[in-house]
Structure 1
Amino acid sequence: MITVLLADDQRLVRAGLRMLIEDTADLAVVGEAADGVEAVRLYAELGPDLVVMDLRMPGLDGVAATRQILASSPRAKVLVLTTFDDDDHLFPALSAGASGYFVKDTEPAVLLDAIRRTVEGDLLFSPALLRRLIGRALHARPVPETPTPPADVTPREREVLRLVGEGHGNQAIADRLHLGVSTVKTHVANLLDKTGTDNRVRLAVYASKLTD
């Protein structure tokens, strides 16, 4: 069962999301927050698998709340769900550590799939969009000028690292390398540990800089 915390200042939006999520057998809403402060507090109390985070909220906004959650729990998963699809909202959210970004007119089935796949470690952006994210993140969160893979990275992990840097999700990597998805997930987890990166966006940044 995947547990979800909803953070949105609009009660009707939270109610709709709760109905959508709880109509599935494998997802459950464990809490609701009406602002960023409450989202941070409830995340610490409930430890959900994923936070569905709005950006425009009173008091502490979604970007700041995401940053605080990731600071206390680096492997936390935050999926942004917002009205805004412009770069001025997108890049700050992802630089804060969000694992994905969707707008509120997303099809319900797509959102449910995104929740599942984000928890599994996928990034749900097109390669072109991820390249934009990487370019911005390289300025916001600098990595070493000439990073090199740790000595204990295996040849297969190097292949996975390259594909992560190109923006491919776990299923796409599995298809390209003729591996099981669970095997790819293991490789990605090992790469996070070996490279000292704490989420997949930063691993992609690392891989992009490595192959420049």
Structure 2
Amino acid sequence: MKTSSSNKEDYLKAIYENNGIHEFVSNKTLSTHLGVSPASVTEMVEKLQKDGLIEYKPYTGVKLTQEGLNQTVLIIRNHRIIETFLYEKLGYSLHDLHHLSEELEHVKDSVFFSKLYDFLDQPETCPHGGIIPTQDEFIEKAVKPITDFKQGDSPMVCRVMDDASILNYMSTINLNIRDTIHITQVDDFNELILFTINEENLIHHISFKQAQIIFSY
């Protein structure tokens, strides 16, 4: 069972992953990202604001304060170091990384994470393509969702949010981080993007909702 503290951390990570360092993240986005009710988001936002971890703007959303950023960067760093270790050294799949990483990220031993980071040769990104924050580099680079591209564009898949449904779908069509997709059609009526992968001719499709959590540069 998650503690209140770990629940708060989930919200902080969600704000960070939705570019909540520089931009306000809507409550609706947090509700969708975390799979919780709007009422739950409102309740937690009030707690985080009271703790001085977020700035809240009515009808706009939230973004991290400096204190919130400091705490979140450490959580994100630990989580992604663990994910990288599990993926690269123990052979876990992208889909299976999340829950075990969440358990291990709460280990209160900075020396452990520093040594693990060095053991992994100081990787820049985690298996999902998110940066592994350092003191000097803590802002996500791949923040442009696939929905921002148009027919004829060929973005590279650089980052994907840790979401079971999208990871499962990517696995079924063999779409991976650093693959290039060629957008053949944007179907606004059905809210679908049609595309091919790398040099293949087989056409796949993805919903606007799924494409919203896959990012490029």
> Which TM-score applies when normalising by structure 1?
0.25
Larger Cα Rg: Structure 1 or Structure 2?
2
The structure that is helix-richer by fraction is 1
